[in-house]
């Protein structure tokens, strides 16, 4: 079956530091890949997505590239802010407009001044 493995947290960084959160996946076929973010006290929000190999998803300064050869979708940001403190989830879905999402365990990011 499908599965997602992401690096354990918490990750603690100083403001303006570079962020990488690793994510690898196992799936049959050609899944779509996602990063969701959960801010304290709020629901899950889609941060970015990529639907085919070599696609780069980007949003709010975050980026992730769909690497089929390494089955990875690592999240990066060049300069984090305190407001980026949240839990980040890597996820995948199978082919189809309404496929379910399979999530990783989440990585908590704490950014300090």
* Residues engaged in binding other proteins (CB under 8 A): 4, 32, 42-46, 49, 51, 89, 91, 93, 95-106
Burial string for 75-105 (b: 16+ CB within 10 Å, else e) reads bebeebeeebbbbbbbbbbeeeeeeeebbbe
Q: Shortest approach of other proteins to residue 14 CB, angstroms?
A: 25
Q: Shortest approach of other proteins to residue 5 CB, angstroms?
A: 11
Q: Shortest approach of other proteins to residue 40 CB, angstroms?
A: 12
Handedness of CA 99, 2, 110, 51 (dihedral sign): negative
For other proteins, the closer of residues 12 and 105 by Cβ is 105
């Amino acid at each position: 079956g499908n599965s997602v493995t992401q690096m354990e947290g918490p990750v603690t960084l100083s403001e303006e530091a570079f962020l990488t959160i690793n994510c690898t996946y196992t799936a049959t076929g050609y899944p779509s890949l996602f990063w969701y973010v959960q801010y304290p006290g709020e629901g899950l929000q889609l941060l970015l997505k990529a639907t085919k190999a070599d696609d780069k998803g980007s949003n709010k300064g975050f980026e992730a590239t769909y690497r089929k050869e390494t089955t990875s979708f690592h999240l990066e940001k060049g300069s984090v802010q305190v407001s980026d403190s949240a839990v980040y989830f890597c996820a995948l879905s199978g082919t189809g407009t309404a496929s379910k999402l399979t999530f990783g365990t989440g990585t908590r990011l704490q950014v300090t001044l």
